Amino acid sequence: MTACANYPGGELPTNVHLLAQTPQLRALMTMIRDTNTNRNDFIFYSDRIIRLLVEEGLNYLPLVEQQIETPTGLPYHGVAFQGKICGVPIIRAGEAMEKGLRECCKGVRIGKILIQRNEETAQPELYYSKLPSDIAERYVLLLDPMLATGGSAIKAIEVLLETGVHEDRIVFLNLLAVPDGIDAVLARFPKLRIVTADVDPGLNEKKFIVPGLGDFGDRYFGSS
């Protein structure tokens, strides 16, 4: 279990993995939380955090033993990734995470799910999905930087399960979460894994994460 001061009881559920809170990560999170950070810097520092999330998320994929030969002519008993993967960003903000995944996983298949929170009610609305036809055989890295009420993630996971994806083969990569969102998602999908960079205490009356970082999609893509 991972200690987390903002999660009730002080420890995260076992299938929630918080990135190591290194000085480096804390400085990066401070940059993207700062309302005075301009768009270019927001993109740059978010991308660095996303890269850390992807690298950590890949640690939860299965490995097989593999023996290779090194240039010294000696064998090395190593490992290789087993199984096929697919990245699925929740459009729009999740698309900001696609580049980081592609940089780590050459030629990775990408599916898309378009979900938007209704600005009045904060309820998620599903508009579109397009997934690889063999996604049921793949491990899925679900990408969305913000886990607030959990509504968008729950809807996206429902879409994945309807296409035959196994719940225990989904790793949700997320930049900032709150306890209520984590609990809502895990109550529905207890076998899901979540990898997050930080956990904030809660939501405001507009269902925004506080202290948070504002609207991730607007800041990354330059809309408002």
Which residues belong to the active site?
117, 121, 215, 218
Among 28, 142, 146, 192, binds ligand URA (CB under 6 A): 146
With CB under 5 to 8 Å by kind, the binding choice for 212 among ligand PRP, ligand URA, none is: ligand URA
Q: Are 211 and 200 in contact (CB under 8 A)?
A: yes
Among 148, 154, 171, 185, binds ligand URA (CB under 6 A): 148
Among 148, 170, 175, 182, binds ligand PRP (CB under 6 A): 148
Does 42 participate in binding ligand PRP (rule CB under 6 A)? Answer: no
Among 37, 149, 174, 196, binds ligand PRP (CB under 6 A): 149
Q: Are 20 and 193 in contact (CB under 8 A)?
A: no
Residues 6+ apart with CB under 8 A from 223: 217
For residue 198, how many other CB atoms are within 10 A of its CB? 23
Does 112 participate in binding ligand PRP (rule CB under 6 A)? Answer: no
Minimum CB separation from ligand PRP for residue 137, in Å? 26
Residues 6+ apart with CB under 8 A from 203: 148, 149, 178, 180, 209, 210
